[in-house]
Amino acid sequence: MERRKLEKKNPELKKKRQAENVPMTIDNTRAYDPSMVTVPSGLHPKSTILAEFSARSKSTVPIKESSTVGSSEPSGSKVTQDPNPAPPPAVPAEFMDPEHAADIANDPFAAYFDPDSERDPSEPPKVLITTSPYATAPTWAFCDELVGVFPGAQFFKRKKKSFRSNAPPLGTIAGWAVKRGYSSLIVVNEDHHKPNALTMIHLPAGPTAYFKLTSVELTREIYGHARASPHYPELVLNNFVTRLGHAVGRMFQTLFPPMPEFEGRQVVTLHNQRDFLFFRRHRYMFKSTERTALQEIGPRFTLKLRSLKTGLPSNNPLGAPMKPLEMAKEDEEPEQQYPHIVEEVAKSEDNGEAGNSGGEDEEAEEESARVEKEETKRDEKKGARKGEEFAWAWNPRMDFKKRNFYL
């Protein structure tokens, strides 16, 4: 009570007190990650991140905090000499992760961000939206909403297994989409008649991101929602800090046309908080120089990154045709050619007459098949199919430390 009275008289005291007693939250005491590219905003004064940087800094480089990765900024002839909002202050070069430079060099999204490319900035990138096989109405409803969100989007239902052919796998579909000029593929996965996961595939050869999808609310379920217009939206990407986070943020950017139509006053936000990506779409209006009014349009959902693969989904090499049979050469003795077979024959001879099936070649293939099976089993435990590599994969053991975040 007394303190309150004092502070009422002198607001400076309150500011001083608040500056001294900054509460520690999970977000502002986040664990340091060497793959951080931008410094997270709102850090606690005693945060380990700041401590790390200050410990390693040779010069007194002031580390400014950032909130956004980047935004769809006006580029092109429409606005000349436009001072874009300051790019998020990067971690000083001296302690930037050396792998980050490699990332920048091998950027899979270069085609989108390249200012000299021939593509028309006013044309939206084509996005193909589909579902997992045999999806149902709730998923289609969500997909229809997505079609409204992304300006260049088209929705197609997944092709079913027919008399002539199997249901085409994702890898095949990705191939078709590339041929038809799509730049991204979004697959909404369904489970128990609800959309539960989202796969974002950047097309020419780009990364595949698999997200868990939760808290889906369609437009009609939002009370007091605004009506969307076909204007290209602005993007706000909040709190993407690490290299992985940047990759995901930029992947999201490539789904939208690079040049937004500001007269539409629509914002699409992907806000990262503790590795949960909250997607929102609003219509905004500046009420004054300090306040904005936001009215929510469109679907609302949460994504959580489960894995990021560097390539396209594999096109099922398990079904590849077997290698042609190699006939034994007459010169060489069988023992030299197939030493492993000789072993096996010896073993089986101990147990009685085990007639070797026709041709030593089959046995060779059996052996190699068995070895391969072991390897694929090991990989499959990690979740990858043959031919796929994870750039990043989540597993439950990552959740034990509360302050470790990866985006």
Partner 1 sequence: MQSDDVIWEIVGKSHCSFRVKVPEKNQQFCRNAYNLTGICNKRDCPLANSRYATVREREGVIYLYTKTIERAHLPSKMWERVPLPNNYMKALEMIDSELLYWPDYMIHRCKQRITKITQYLIKMRRMKLSNAPKVVPIKKKLDRREARREAKALRAAHIEKAIEKELIERLKTKAYGDQPLNVNEDIWKQILDAEKGKEKLDAELEDEDELDEEHELEEEEEWDGREFVSDDSESEFGGLSDLEDMEPAQDDEEDKSNDDGSEEEGDTGSPRRKRPPKTSLGKRKAIDDAKRPRKRGARVEVEYEEEQELVDPQKESIPSW
Site residues for partner 1, 371-400, by CB under 8 A, read 373, 383, 396, 399
**Measured from the CB of residue 339, what is the shortest distance to partner 1 in angstroms?**
19
3-state secondary structure of 36: strand
Binders in 86-125 for partner 1, by CB under 8 A: 86
Residue among 24, 26, 110, 205 that touches partner 1 (CB under 8 A): 26
Which of 23, 62, 339, 355 lies at the binding interface for partner 1 (CB under 8 A)?
Answer: 355
Q: How many residues does the chain have?
A: 407
Kindly identify the residues of this chain, within the stretch 171-200, that bind partner 1 according to CB under 8 A. none
**Is 64 among the residues that bind partner 1 (CB under 8 A)?**
no
Q: How far is the CB of 32 from partner 1 (least distance, A)?
A: 19
Beta bridge partners of 278: 271, 302
**String of DSSP letters for 41-89:** SS--TT-HHHHHHHHH-SS--------BS------STTSSS--PPPPPP
165 is a site residue for partner 1 (CB under 8 A): no
Token reading at 124? 């939206």
Q: How far is the CB of 96 from partner 1 (least distance, A)?
A: 25
Tell me how far, at minimum, the Cβ of 258 lies from partner 1, in Å. 14
How many CB atoms lie under 10 A from the CB of residue 159?
15
Contact pick of 117, 348, 368, 404 for partner 1 (by CB under 8 A): 348
Q: Which residue's CB is nearer to partner 1, number 135 or number 183?
A: 135
Nearer to partner 1, 183 or 248 (CB): 248
The piece of 3-11, 21-29, 45-53, 329-337 that touches partner 1 (CB under 8 A) is: 21-29
Among 56, 78, 160, 220, binds partner 1 (CB under 8 A): 78
Stretch binding partner 1 (CB under 8 A), from 50-58, 71-79, 91-99, 152-160: 71-79
Chain centre distance of CA 370: 34
Which residue lies nearer to partner 1 by CB, 21 or 289?
A: 289
Total residues contacting partner 1 (rule CB under 8 A)? 73
Residues 318 to 347: which contact partner 1 by CB under 8 A? 318-319
Q: What is the DSSP string of 184-246?
A: EEEEEEEETTEEEEEEEEETTT--EEEEEEEEEE-GGGSTTPPPP-SSPPEEEEE---BHHHH
Binding residue for partner 1, selected from 5, 370, 381, 401, defined by CB under 8 A: 370
Amino acid at 351: N
Q: Are 279 and 270 in contact (CB under 8 A)?
A: yes
Binding partner 1 (rule: CB under 8 A), the pick from 13, 51, 79, 325 is 79
Amino acid identity, position 119: R
Contact 207, 277 (CB under 8 A): no
C-beta closer to partner 1: residue 225 or 243: 225
User: In this chain, which stretch among 58-66, 150-158, 179-187, 277-285 interacts with partner 1, using CB under 8 A?
Assistant: 277-285
CA–CA separation, 150 vs 200, rounded Å? 13
Contact range with partner 1 by CB under 8 A, out of 121-129, 174-182, 247-255, 286-294: 286-294
Min dist CB 215 to partner 1, Å, is 7
> Could you say which of 38, 47, 66, 68 contacts partner 1 (CB under 8 A)?
68
Q: Do 312 and 201 meet the contact criterion of CB atoms below 8 Å apart?
A: yes
Contact 303, 315 (CB under 8 A): no
Tokens representing residue 274 in the block: 């503790």
Q: Integer distance in angstroms from the first to the last C-alpha of the chain?
A: 43
Q: Which of 246, 250, 283, 309 binds partner 1 (CB under 8 A)?
A: 283
> Where would I find the beta strands (DSSP E) of 239-352?
266-273, 276-286, 292-309
75 counts as binding partner 1 under rule CB under 8 A? no
13, 31, 51, 354: which one binds partner 1 (CB under 8 A): 354
d(CA 37, CA 407): 10
Of the candidate residues 330, 352, 381, 401, the single one contacting partner 1 (CB under 8 A) = 352
- Residue range at the interface with partner 1 (CB under 8 A); choices 31-39, 176-184, 202-210, 221-229: 221-229
Indicate whether 286 belongs to the interface with partner 1 (CB under 8 A). yes
Distance of CA 95 to the CA centre of its chain: 25
What secondary structure letter does DSSP report for 136?
-
